Amino acid sequence: MRSFLQDLRFAGRMVRRAPGYAVVVVITLGLAIGTATTIFSVVDGVMLRPLGYPEPDRLVSIWEKHPQFPQMSVSYLDFLDWRRSQRSFEDLAAMRLQGLNLTGFDRPERLEGRIVTASLFSLLRVSPQVGRAFAP
């Protein structure tokens, strides 16, 4: 404890001799701690917390592969064939990104949505917040 108090007194003398340096050190430490906290919060929210579905470890994503396109979307007819002939999965669902325009207000707004098959909600074991799920 005595050594710690000596170190503390020495640090106080150094701060009094060079207050500008001390301000730079405190600001640098504050920025570093803030940056580390922000990065951890993003990593925790995106990578470490589980998805909001029951048994997320059982979900997989499959796609077609072509030499020019490493992740190519699947045609709907191929999806129906896969769904009919597969035996390894509980169920299959398809989704595709879709850009949409919302109009009727001041200016049109571009939104990003998804086109999904009717089995998506049952596959994820979730229910819509409003209304009912899709019928096949």
Q: Output the pTM of the full model.
A: 0.54
- pLDDT digits 0-9 by tens, 80-92: 998 999 888 888 9
CA distances to 16, 27, 84 from 21, in Å = 10, 10, 70
- pLDDT digits 0-9 by tens, 55-67: 877 888 888 888 8
Domain range annotation of the chain: 2-48, 56-124
